[in-house]
Amino acid sequence: MDHKKTFHSTTLETANGTITLEGPVSANELKKYHFHEHLVAFRPPKKQFEALIGIADLPEGRIIIARTEDTIVGYVTYLHADPLERWSTFKMDDLIILGAIEVIPEYRGVGTASGLLRISMMDDYMENYIIISTEYYWHWDLDGAKLSIWNYRKVMEKMMAAGGLSPAPTDDPEIISHPANCLMVRIGKNVPEDSIEQFDKLRFLQRYQHRKMREGI
């Protein structure tokens, strides 16, 4: 699969000034900017910035950023599933993961995250992918947002809807371990039916594997 990437950009006016939302951004372009020290949700900022640069270099990797003139204040990442994750079981080239989305506190609540998702989907090539995001409540900044688990879930669903993702059922053990967790999915209009059928097997992998075991007996 040829992972084509088309750059898009827009601006967002906020109380803290204008920010630019743009991408996919190359590794070389990322290196021109400063990575804000408050982007700490997943790992220390320096390590996370290195991870983003690595993703940008992947054939399928996409990094969409929110920035002031020279400082990255938010981002969203897309890439294939880690080989150790269930979502890589069938090695689907047209399945990509919305791996992380993060915005510093100063630019939350003004549409930055939703804007990052909208910019992501402006690229027509995204219609060739099944895009998923695995949402676990223990990753959410409940204290920072001052929201309950369920109110945060509502905010998260509304944000993901800006990119066309909606909740979908699955038997993934981690996701079903808590009712607030969920699988978010967007199926592009150009995704072939056989990929959708394979993805349905992947969503209910335990059921599929049990059936295969019964058939093998």
Per-residue pLDDT of 37-46, as tens digits, reads 999 999 999 9
The rounded distance, in Å, linking the Cα atoms of 53 and 63 is 8
User: Is 169 a residue whose pLDDT tops 60?
Assistant: yes
The CB density around residue 23, as the number of other CB atoms within 10 Å, is 27
Residue 216: the pLDDT is 66
**Does 8-216 carry CATH code 3.40.630.30?**
yes
Task: Give the chain's mean pLDDT.
Answer: 95
pLDDT mean over 158-171? 97
In degrees, rounded to 5, the angle at the alpha carbon of residue 104 between the alpha carbons of residues 67 and 61 is: 60
Where are the alpha helices (H) located in 58-204, listed in sequence order?
A: 112-121, 142-145, 149-161, 173-176, 193-203
User: Is 213 a residue whose pLDDT tops 90?
Assistant: no
Give the single-character DSSP code of 81: P
Helices 112-121 and 149-161: crossing angle, nearest 10°? 40
User: Is 209 a residue whose pLDDT tops 80?
Assistant: no
| pTM recorded for the entire structure | 0.94
pLDDT mean over 15-29? 97
The rounded distance, in Å, linking the Cα atoms of 186 and 184 is 7
Residue pair 49/14 in contact (Cβ under 8 Å)? The answer is no
User: Is 107 a residue whose pLDDT tops 90?
Assistant: yes
Residue pair 166/184 in contact (Cβ under 8 Å)? The answer is yes
The rounded distance, in Å, linking the Cα atoms of 57 and 100 is 16
134 three-class SS? strand
pLDDT mean over 43-66? 97
Helix then strand count (H, E) for the chain reads: 8, 9
Q: How confident is the model at residue 141 (pLDDT cuts 50, 70, 90)?
A: confident
Q: How confident is the model at residue 139 (pLDDT cuts 50, 70, 90)?
A: confident
Residue 158: the pLDDT is 95
User: Is 29 a residue whose pLDDT tops 90?
Assistant: yes
The CB density around residue 20, as the number of other CB atoms within 10 Å, is 15
Q: How confident is the model at residue 146 (pLDDT cuts 50, 70, 90)?
A: confident
